Amino acid sequence: MELNGSKTAVITGGASGLGAAVAQRLAAFGVNVTLFDTNLKAAQMHAKAIGGAFQVVDVSDADSVANGFADVKSASGGLDILVNCAGIGPAAKTVSRGLPHDPAVFAKVVGINLIGSFNCASQAAAMMLECPADGPDGERGVIVNTASVAAYEGQVGQVAYAASKGGIVGMTLPMARDLAASGVRVCTIAPGLFLTPLLAGLPDDVQSSLGQQVPFPPRLGDPAEFAAMACHIMENRMLNGEVIRLDGAIRMAPR
């Protein structure tokens, strides 16, 4: 896919972190970007900064997602790109101090990270299929999901988060197969330790210590590097049905 002003993209969780970096990079290519986020103030600010639009959307709510995409369709007429970055990661063990994991917390994590990604992907794909095929291969769109290395090496306290990200990994290939005949590609990025707002709030020495766990380069990932990978997936038509670890070769220890 050629990234230019004729393309339209939706970025979930686009007001901050990895999503904001992807939105900024796409906007620099001239792509028409709409942010889906629950943080109204942050979404307004980032959309203004990149010359994009925003919708207040709760990805775990199917009706909210449907309404968000309906607004995008009304404004833009079509959709070429979806990048799912919305997610949460509260820490809780299966049993802690004799108490079982709060099932409501587990359900919330899965609801936002996994079901939210599916809600947006299915709505986006339906919209993409309404668009004419483009280019020699008949491409209609690209969906990029965000998993995590926790899908493979979930740490202590990450049972809900790892389960949700493992689900994203698991749905990547069948979703790509479902949509292949219609010219929509699906890939997933599984990032390692990146300098997202959560880690940016830690003291510098803690950030440095975490970065030193990465074999090479021995530092935290820059969200711009995640954005570069997302855009490469969009531009490279042979990338489909794949989960790409973007982690500097780290393999997470139990804690």
Residues catalogued as catalytic: 161
Tell me how far CA of residue 64 lies from CA of 56, 80, 167, 171, 253, in angstroms.
8, 20, 22, 22, 38
CA distance 158 to 139: 37
Q: Which residues are within 8 A (CB) of 114 and not within 5 positions of it... i.e. 6 or more apart?
A: 163, 164, 165, 167, 168, 171
* Segments in the chain forming alpha helices (H): 17-28, 40-50, 62-76, 103-110, 116-128, 150-153, 159-180, 197-200, 204-211, 223-235
Residue whose structure tokens are 């001239």: 30
- Residue 106: both structure tokens together: 């587990």
CA distance 241 to 14: 23
Q: Please answer whether residues 11 and 75 qualify as being in contact, where contact means their C-beta atoms are separated by less than 8 angstroms.
A: no
Q: Which pairing describes strands 141-146 and 81-84: parallel, antiparallel, or unpaired? A: parallel
